[in-house]
Structure formats: C-alpha cells, structure tokens
Amino acid sequence: MNHEAKKIYPVYPCVPCGKDFDFMGSFQMKAHLSRRYLFSASHRLHSDAMSDEENHSTYGKCNNPYGHGHNYTVEVTVSGQVDRQTGMVCNLADLDAFIETQVLARFGHENLNTLREFAQEVPTTENLCIQIYEIVQRGFHFAHLERVRLEETMMNSFEYAGREA
C-alpha cells in the first residue's frame, strides 16, 4: 500500500455555471466507490445494566445465553476525485488490503462479546457498524469515507455515515 498520494490541483469556480474547474480547465468529478465484503461472527445481545427479564424482553431470542451467529456483509463506500492517470477514485487493492487486515481479520470468526471493542457496550449490529466505520475513518487515507453499511440478515441492515451525517 505504498502508493503516492494523489496530486491535488487547484480548483477554481466558474462564476456563470457554478461548477469547479481545475487548472487545466477540466471539471472536477467526485465519484463514489462501494465495495462489499463478507465475514462471519457470533454475539449475544445482553446488557449487564439490565435484569435478565429486561434483557429477554429487549433482545428476545438474541439474548440466548449461548449466543448466535451471522454471515455479515459489510459495504464500504468511499469517494474522491477520479484520478486522471488511473481513472479510479482509489486503488481497489489498497481498500481490499485495509479491510482484510483491519476489519475482517479483527471481527471474522469471533465472538464479538469477547472483543475489547464491546467490553463496555452491547455488540449490536448498529454498534458493530459504527466500530467498522471508525476503524476505516482512522486508518484508510486513500479516499474519503462516506459510509459503512452492514447487513446482518436479508431483512436487517444498518448504515452509519459518521457523527455529522
């Protein structure tokens, strides 16, 4: 992942049309790239701050003492200018390598309840989605992170786009 940072050209607004042009007179194009990844993990939805009855009432079958697993699909969407030379927002190999080492290796085939990320919070898919977003936000610098979407089942998915979204 030792690619040079993209060259940033000065951008000048066109007063009549309001579009941005670079110093060469070309439109600046922001594009989005979404990439999907699969991993499996287990969890138990249980809060120590609630009674057993409250946990069962809140989480239902997901409060099973033995936990349960999911085959998750995580979709990461990044954006940026389309590079003139490569024609890409970012190199897919960089994104794939980052997600593999920082997300899939961390959460794949794990009991989420045993991980430090969930020592103080319930490992709901909403919280897992936020954790993944924050990992990518902190560590992937080849494009701007737009959002993370996490599918837990065919019927349930969660999306997080940061605190300011």
Catalytic residues: 62, 109, 152
69 membership: H or E segment, kind and range: strand 68-81
Nearest alpha carbon to residue 47 among 159, 126, 124? 124
Tell me the C-alpha distance between 25 and 48, whole Å: 60
3-state DSSP assignment of residue 160? strand
**Angle at CA of residue 32, ends 131 and 7, nearest 5°:** 100
Characterize the bridge pairing of strands 110-111 and 30-43: parallel
